[in-house]
A = this chain, B = another copy of it.
């Protein structure tokens, strides 16, 4: 591929002049500008971003580390980040963190090697200290969906416990007393916090949430099917189910229907996330809205600002809100 030298030689000018026209520099004669532009076109010249990054010490790149492109929830997250990157003319570099601490670390390291000045990181497995260290090393790093007090202003997160609480309260207010949970079997804090919230709401009514009433599996459609089957196998006598996310909920409803249970007449179901899917399930899914796109956009904007030494607000906490649709009804009496 043609370099700036090739262009300079072919145009009979110095590399400095070429560089000036490339960067719309001020001091270059109209004649030369036109000439150089033509030569660039002829030679198919494109400035080498690597060389440029080397000397300018900045590469207009936003790194995103997260786990699963294919999951609608994460896709929405990535979409939000991408929007901000694009509107700021910033390249998007994606690094997959899967779920393990080791891969998450590698994902961040890779981004570090690329010297991308801003990053939004979705990390569940890395320790708080590790993340704090990274945040210190990279001014433009912001955490999404995780709250670490020591670096609170670098975190954009959702109050999961409040979400669990709100879901449970809603069901209670509808008259449900036999409530079961289907949760994620990932060893991260989100499911624990949501469960805490649920438990708290139930306890306030003097209702326990015992082990028997909790089934866990992978947080996707298949997992939802499995967990629902397990619950069924134990003899289902609950009137309502709080499910970890909408993907699982779709699997749950599917199994419920296949086994002759009507939703919501026999069993009510509440999801979490409000992924697009939930509007097209039948019945339409009642769920806790997780404003992930907005959060992702804010995280990306923060990352860009921080990398530019601009200040950001101190608190970026979001609350899930209840979206009432058709999957909840009062229990049969």
Complex: how many Å from CA A70 to CA B48?
30
Q: Closest Cβ of chain B: how far from A28's Cβ, in Å?
A: 21
Contact of B69 with A72 in the complex, beta carbons under 8 Å:
no
Complex: how many Å from CA A254 to CA B44?
51
Q: Closest Cβ of chain B: how far from A118's Cβ, in Å?
A: 15
Q: Closest Cβ of chain B: how far from A221's Cβ, in Å?
A: 6
Q: Closest Cβ of chain B: how far from A225's Cβ, in Å?
A: 10
Contact of A92 with B93 in the complex, beta carbons under 8 Å:
yes
Interface string of A274-291 (1 = CB under 8 A from B): 001101111000000000
Residue from the list B59, B94, B96 in contact with A50, Cβ < 8 A: B59
Residue from the list B51, B86, B279 in contact with A96, Cβ < 8 A: B86
Known A44-B137, A115-B49; contact A110-B91, beta-carbon cutoff 8 A: yes
Contact of A47 with B91 in the complex, beta carbons under 8 Å:
no
What residues on B are CB-neighbors of A281 within 8 Å?
280-282
At the interface, yes or no: A10 with Cβ under 8 Å from chain B? no
Q: Closest Cβ of chain B: how far from A291's Cβ, in Å?
A: 14
**Interface of A (DSSP majority class):** helix
Contact of B53 with A109 in the complex, beta carbons under 8 Å:
no
Complex: how many Å from CA A40 to CA B59?
24
Please choose the segment from A75-83, A140-148, A195-203, A207-215 that sits at the chain B interface, where 4 or more of its residues have CB less than 8 A away.
A75-83
Residue from the list B48, B82, B115 in contact with A94, Cβ < 8 A: B82
Residue from the list B75, B76, B91, B251 in contact with A95, Cβ < 8 A: B91
Which residues of A7-65 have CB atoms within 8 Å of chain B's CB atoms? 44, 46-51, 53-54, 59
Contact of A46 with B113 in the complex, beta carbons under 8 Å:
yes
Complex: how many Å from CA A59 to CA B91?
15
Complex: how many Å from CA A70 to CA B59?
26
Contact of B59 with A69 in the complex, beta carbons under 8 Å:
no
Complex: how many Å from CA A288 to CA B312?
48
Interface string of A93-111 (1 = CB under 8 A from B): 1111000000000000110
Q: A111: nearest residue on chain B (CB-CB)?
A: B91
At the interface, yes or no: A88 with Cβ under 8 Å from chain B? no
At the interface, yes or no: A205 with Cβ under 8 Å from chain B? no
Residue from the list B46, B51, B282 in contact with A109, Cβ < 8 A: B46
Q: Closest Cβ of chain B: how far from A45's Cβ, in Å?
A: 10
Residue from the list B59, B79, B280 in contact with A277, Cβ < 8 A: B280
At the interface, yes or no: A114 with Cβ under 8 Å from chain B? yes
Contact of A91 with B72 in the complex, beta carbons under 8 Å:
no
What residues on B are CB-neighbors of A221 within 8 Å?
276, 279-280
Residue from the list B47, B51, B70, B91 in contact with A79, Cβ < 8 A: B70
Q: Closest Cβ of chain B: how far from A261's Cβ, in Å?
A: 13
5 contacts between A and B (CB under 8 A): A50-B115, A54-B54, A82-B94, A92-B94, A92-B96
Known: A51-B54, A54-B54, A70-B76. 6 other contacts (CB 8 A): A48-B113, A49-B113, A49-B115, A91-B95, A91-B114, A221-B280
Which 5 residue pairs across A and B have the least CB separation, nearest first? A70-B79, A250-B280, A282-B282, A75-B75, A50-B53
